[in-house]
Amino acid sequence: PAIETLGSVSVICSDKTGTLTRNEMMVASVVTYQHAFTLEGEGYNPEGDLKLNDRCISPTEHSALEEMARAAALCNDASLVEKSGVWHSEGDPMEGALLSFAGKMNLDVRQEQSVWKRSDAIPFDARHRFMATLSHDHQHHACIFVKGAPERLLEMCGSQRSTDGKVEPLDMAYWQQQMLTIAAKGQRLLAFAVKPVNTDYTVLEQDDLNESLIMLGLVGMIDPPRSEAISAVAECHQAGIRVKMITGDHAETAAAIGKQIGLKNPNKVLTGLDIDGMDDLQLKANVIDCDIFARTSPEHKLRLVTAIQAHDLTVAMTGDGVNDAPALKRADAGIAMGLKGSEAAKEAAELVLADDNFATIVSAVREGRTVYDNLKKIISWTLPTNAGEAMTIIVALLFGMTLPITPVQILWVNLITAVTLGIALAFEPTEENTMRRPPRSRNESLLSAELLWHIVLVSLLFLGGVYGIYDYAISQGYSLELARTLAVNTLVVMEIFHLFFIRNIHGTSITWKAICGTKVIWRVVFVISCAQFVITYHPWLQTIFGTESISFWDGVLVIAIGVMLFITIEMEKQLRLFVRRTRV
């Protein structure tokens, strides 16, 4: 059911981290007061050149860099491991990138972590947007190291570290300008701050951090988009699905990433503060045209889902945290992260994304549409053929005519075709235009007016085909058994040709690929054809089913009726599509 729901999804709200990006972060920009550096390297390898104005320099030339590196190493829960010459992060990818940055600043991370023992910590939370640790060293020093969103840390800082290592008043304008510069490059921003405390200080409280920290600097981390995510977003737009990105990053960073992955409206960004300042009606009015939401919390996700659903749209939402559970539960299709998602998120969601990749969501949407299409194809094949069979008997009874097909022959047709032809449609592959059709309404009925008309049309054609061949046989002086044999074979042949039409029921034009069918279809057709040959020509079965052998040319006539059925309903479909296009 969850996959089928994804097939009708109109909006996908995706967290940037992990689904849209590669999650292989690396620090690319480093900013201290009055200096902006660039940092090179590859992956999590703790080696790389530090440059200032395109000139390689040593980190030891700037003391603030050492202090930033120490904060990055100590306010951190991850670790770096080298396997076969390749460095990997065990833990959060962002924290792994920070350990790599510390190594590039010539800091021995393991030694620092052994010298500075952590006494207490405030874990990162989306509500306060920072992480803080309290550490003591062997020389009776104690410091609080903090990392987090630059806007939040600037609120908590009253001073900054100067170029010569002294403490001076905070230059808010400088830091805000540097934030905009780095964010415009599409880099993820993170700030570091420190606060020396007494050695007897062992418990860390949030109230101890307000406006008392010393700003150390900023880093900008690159988190390149997945190449498959870019094509997946484009495929969503083709399919009439709007993709909205929700992230905790800075608004400028989010806008730059939005442009890279191809979101429709990357220039408009709503932040968590903007959302907090809107009531439900205002959010409903703004949520459709905006595709990027930055500096958001899990609580904002729930409001966004509700606001989008208020437009009668089907929403898929991704999430990984415990606090994402309400939004995942509220969404029409909640999608939890399988790799880094919490158990609470997985239990609340309908789907678990095993690889945390946005492209997999789009594949699931395609699969959902295919499941629904095949279900509808089975219904679209079964109802008209059964109605055609029923009408053949009902007309004969109403008008007092001789039955063109005996009850045992009808039982045979239902047994051989329902078990084979109907089930074969369940194995139909995805049609070429599946992801070029707009999402269907979630209130759409399986028995649409179009399908009801198709049932009536095909039933009448079946009636005409069966009685046409029956009257022909009687007029030629054939026996009643031979006339009924031609009728029952015509009925089966018409069901086979109707099956080939149903396979391409959504196609705008008939193609050779649609006519050729799949291996399953041809195996089924072969089995049915053999079965019909056996009951038509085998003497023992002729006695049971009341059949007689038919001539070659009569057999050609039977197949010709099936071909005419296919041509007629295909022409009707093309005429209907033409009228629909002219109205548009």
Please give the positions annotated as active site. Answer: 15
Cα separations (Å) of 238 from 82, 348, 362, 509? 42, 30, 12, 19
Q: Is 163:216 a contact under the CB 8 Å cutoff? A: no
Whole-angstrom CA distances from 351 to 242, 303, 355, 366, 448 are 19, 21, 12, 15, 29
DSSP output for 471-491: HHHHHTT--HHHHHHHHHHHH
Distances in Å between the alpha carbon of 200 and those of 119, 134, 143, 172, 196? 11, 11, 11, 32, 12
CB neighbourhood size of 563 (10 A): 12
Under a CB-based contact definition with an 8 Å cutoff, are residues 242 and 181 in contact? no
CA 497/CA 561 separation, integer angstroms? 9
Question: What tokens were used for 500?
Answer: 């080939």
Positive or negative: CA dihedral 473, 478, 482, 484: positive
d(CA 453, CA 449): 6
* CB distance 577 to 504 below 8 Å: no
Rg (CA), the chain: 34
Count H helices and E strands in the chain, helices first. 23, 20
Closest-CA residue to 487 (of 568, 420, 383, 401): 401
- Other beta carbons within 10 angstroms of residue 42's beta carbon come to 11
Q: How many Å separate Cα 38 from the centre of its chain?
A: 35
